Chains A and B, each alone.
Chain A
Amino acid sequence: QQQVKQSPQSLIVQKGGISIINCAYENTAFDYFPWYQQFPGKGPALLIAIRPDVSEKKEGRFTISFNKSAKQFSLHIMDSQPGDSATYFCAAATYGGSQGNLIFGKGTKLSVKP
């Protein structure tokens, strides 16, 4: 049973455009929602994360929007740049619980065309 569903699988955006990646989760006990960015040949690295007590978090061009009632969260990349081309993974965890292991979505490959 996949607990975190991510879409789309791939995304092509023109330079300067907005990239939007969506995730949906099933477990209402999740209380930590990070996004990881992975460049080819590298390990994933934390990009931005949100807790369910806020509906939005912004860091530079990257924004997480969180909808607790719909059990959905999304990553928005404003003014997308070719350097943003990477694979993005959403994840969820129960940090208030006893385990806390991250459950990852299947990833979105973003290509930003110049």
Chain B
Amino acid sequence: NAGVTQTPKFQVLKTGQSMTLQCAQDMNHEYMSWYRQDPGMGLRLIHYSVGAGITDQGEVPNGYNVSRSTTEDFPLRLLSAAPSQTSVYFCASSYSTQSGPPLGEQYFGPGTRLTVT
């Protein structure tokens, strides 16, 4: 099991550019989520998904889009990058009931460090 994988590990963007952060898991988890981590701010939820075809907004969704076409993949899109989106992004997954909330441990990927200049 690779667990939760994220690509790329590092990325530098210019303001206004777009990009997609990739996340994949091989644990057949229904629930997946994206967080951003900023110094002194903890982990803040951006978007989450309780199953393929179902996504919803978290605490800080502005400037980000997600989609969930398969159970395994949950990409995060930045449509027009801004310096305020400089952060470390983590994807996580968890067991859950069918289209239900996460149950127990969330497994985190290694993160993507994004810098927007």
Contact = CB atoms under 8 A, between A and B. Distances in A.
B108 A43 contact: yes
B33 A43 contact: no
Given A43-B109, A45-B108, A101 B101 contact: yes
A95 interface: yes
Given A101-B48, A101-B58, A44 B42 contact: no
Interface residues of B, number: 25
**For this complex, into which size category does the number of interface residues on chain A fall?**
20 to 34
Contact of B101 (A44, A89, A100, A107): A100
Interface in A44-64: 44-46, 49
Given A101-B33, A101-B48, A101-B58, A44 B105 contact: no
Interface of B: 4, 33, 35, 40-45, 48, 58, 90, 92, 96, 100-106, 108-111
14 contacts: A34-B105, A43-B4, A43-B92, A43-B108, A44-B90, A45-B108, A46-B106, A49-B104, A89-B42, A98-B101, A100-B100, A100-B101, A101-B48, A102-B43
